[in-house]
Amino acid sequence: MRLFSRLATEQNSIAIKAENMTARSISLDTVWYQGRFPAKFLLPLSWVFRGVVELRRFFYRAGWIKNRRLPVPVIIVGNISVGGTGKTPLIIALTKLLKENGYKPGVISRGYGGEVRGAPVKVDPSGNAAIVGDEPLLLSKHSDCPVAVGANRFEAGRLLLEQDGCDVILSDDGLQHYKLARDIEIAVVDSERQFGNGFCLPAGPLREPVERLSEVDFIIENGTKTEDERFSMTLNGDMAVNLTTGSAKPLQDFIGLSCHALAGIGNPDRFFNKLNAAGLHCINHKFPDHYSYRADDIEFGECPVLMTEKDAVKCFDFANDTHWYVPVTAQLEPAFKNRFLTLLREKYDGYKIT
């Protein structure tokens, strides 16, 4: 059983180390997403990683490693690839949908990039991204529901149940966190990059094989959906907000200006392409996902600088009036909303019966 317990944490440990190493490597990103064949020495490592993934999942499904279940429905919003795919705006949209339908949701997160290591903590909307993580801070600011971060997602969920009386829990990421039992799984896919070269880490970007998607309840594509059984999500946002004054103006006001754009997200090109589609021609600067910015990273003289809101929450302390962020909101298909609420109602009724 000790071996099984170790395997229960091995996949996440390997994935985190691989993300830290590869997020800073442009050459590996090129290998993953631009059709380059991976270096031969990476393929055996990828096969070992995949073997650990599948063995670990087998142990959970066989009941040899036990998971823990909260007394309310748990919804996982995750992905099978490293890097961001649009989970944060989707979770915000789901919390609003749940509240509109009479639920009291709470959000739990591991707090990637933050400093929380021990017992879970609640996230204050005015908190520090360096402590709780950039995505949990955004979730707290915009979801209007309680958010807790911690490596132990079960304890984070229990904290929200005890302190806030939540009746449904949304887990930010955690598709591979099998220690927490789940009722609904939603996998988010970047419609532009999909699954890269299709290999698992470190030869490719996958945390789990593509076949894992056949087991989730919903697949959401960030962008135009590529398969009929999936659902599309559109991220809308045509305004820029100043980091120091809070004033907002249309993106069109930046047309013709000499601008810089920066992004430290899973797919920076999505943000840059959005600005380009709005008529802006920016000098683009890519940073690793969850990058901790310094003042000199975002200084470009008097030129306007545009960034994502995920980047902005780490730059407020040293920003000036040349810095702007572009907030986005997720628009979901009505068909998805109906099917999601129907499935949740079935799960929720099951909890009430027991």
CB atoms within 10 A of CB 250: 11
Q: Kindly tell me if the per-residue pLDDT of 15 is higher than 70.
A: no
Q: Kindly tell me if the per-residue pLDDT of 353 is higher than 60.
A: no
Q: Kindly tell me if the per-residue pLDDT of 80 is higher than 70.
A: yes
Q: Kindly tell me if the per-residue pLDDT of 19 is higher than 80.
A: no
Give the range among 10-19, 133-142, 238-247, 249-258 with minimum mean pLDDT. Answer: 10-19
Q: Which residue has the higher pLDDT, 35 or 294?
A: 294
Chain-wide mean pLDDT for the chain? 88
Residue with tokens 């470190």: 202
How far from 314 is each of 97, 180, 292, 321, CA to CA, in Å?
Answer: 28, 30, 7, 16
CB atoms within 10 A of CB 12: 18
Task: Check: CB of residue 284 under 8 Å from CB of residue 268.
Answer: yes
Q: Kindly tell me if the per-residue pLDDT of 278 is higher than 80.
A: yes
Nearest to 242 by CA among 182, 318, 141, 326: 326
**Distance between CA atoms of residues 230 and 236, nearest Å:** 19
Per-residue pLDDT reduced to its tens digit, 89-135: 999 999 999 999 999 999 999 877 666 677 899 999 988 888 888 89
- Structure confidence at residue 20 (pLDDT): 46
What values do phi and psi take at 186, rounded to 5?
A: -120, 120
What values do phi and psi take at 30, rounded to 5?
A: -65, -40
- Structure confidence at residue 352 (pLDDT): 63
Task: Check: CB of residue 50 under 8 Å from CB of residue 209.
Answer: yes
Task: Check: CB of residue 75 under 8 Å from CB of residue 169.
Answer: yes
Q: What does the pLDDT average to over 62-88?
A: 92
Contacts of 197-201 with C-beta under 8 Å, sequence gap 24+, read 197/31, 197/32, 197/33, 197/35, 197/36, 197/37, 197/38, 199/38, 199/43, 199/46, 200/46, 200/47, 200/49, 200/50, 200/53, 201/14, 201/15, 201/18, 201/22, 201/45, 201/46, 201/49, 201/82
- Percent of the chain with pLDDT strictly greater than 90: 69
Task: Check: CB of residue 87 under 8 Å from CB of residue 190.
Answer: no
Q: Which amino acid is at 307?
A: M
Q: What is the pTM of this model?
A: 0.89
Query: CB-based burial of residue 81 (10 Å sphere; 0-12 exposed, 13-18 middle, 19+ buried)?
Result: buried
Q: Which residue ranges make up each domain of the chain?
A: 74-103+167-234+331-353, 238-327
Residue 317 zone, left/alpha/beta (φ > 0; ψ -120 to 50; rest) = alpha
Task: Out of 50-59, 127-136, 158-167, 221-230, give the one with best mean pLDDT.
Answer: 158-167
- Structure confidence at residue 266 (pLDDT): 81
**Distance between CA atoms of residues 135 and 117, nearest Å:** 16
Give the range among 33-47, 184-198, 332-346 with minimum mean pLDDT. Answer: 33-47
Q: Kindly tell me if the per-residue pLDDT of 3 is higher than 60.
A: no
- Structure confidence at residue 288 (pLDDT): 86
**Distance between CA atoms of residues 74 and 156, nearest Å:** 12
- Structure confidence at residue 121 (pLDDT): 93
**Distance between CA atoms of residues 312 and 260, nearest Å:** 14
DSSP string of 38-96, one letter each residue: PPTTHHHHHHHHHHHHHHHHHHHHHTSS--B--SS-EEEEE-SBSS-SSHHHHHHHHHH
Q: Which residue has the higher pLDDT, 349 or 236?
A: 236
- Structure confidence at residue 272 (pLDDT): 96
- Structure confidence at residue 118 (pLDDT): 75
